[in-house]
Amino acid sequence: MNGIPDSRADAITVRIYGTEYAFRSPQDPDYVKTVADTVDQEMRRLSENRVVKSTLEVSVLASMHLADELLQTRKKLHEVLQRVDRTTEAMAKILDAGPSETAA
């Protein structure tokens, strides 16, 4: 779902912050709608308590919030994968040592 025309993808129209956008995406239409709904909800949430409510400002704020969430999630995933790697290595060493050394 990159917003770039793709003749192999089906067109889907979504509404974000009151404006309709047409996309061609190889992704499942329900997924595209979920992505659009997420952006729409974030923009509406941010605009509720703002004095300046220009669409551009709300779009930039929503982009910043969603990008922050993405980067934090990637960081957490990376940390989890590192823990999994360390645990896997430790378990492999235990298994390689054989039952006689682990029973002691």
pLDDT value at residue 30: 96
pLDDT tens-digit series, residues 29-88? 999 999 999 999 999 999 998 777 799 999 999 999 999 999 999 999 999 999 999 999
The residues spanned by each domain of the chain are: 10-103
Q: What is the tens place of the pLDDT at every residue in 1-30?
A: 655 455 556 799 999 999 999 989 999 999
> How does DSSP assign the chain, residue by residue?
--SS--TTSEEEEEEETTEEEEEEESS-HHHHHHHHHHHHHHHHHHHHT-S---HHHHHHHHHHHHHHHHHHHHHHHHHHHHHHHHHHHHHHHHHHH-HHHHH-
Q: What is the pLDDT of residue 70?
A: 98
Check pLDDT > 90 for residue 102.
no
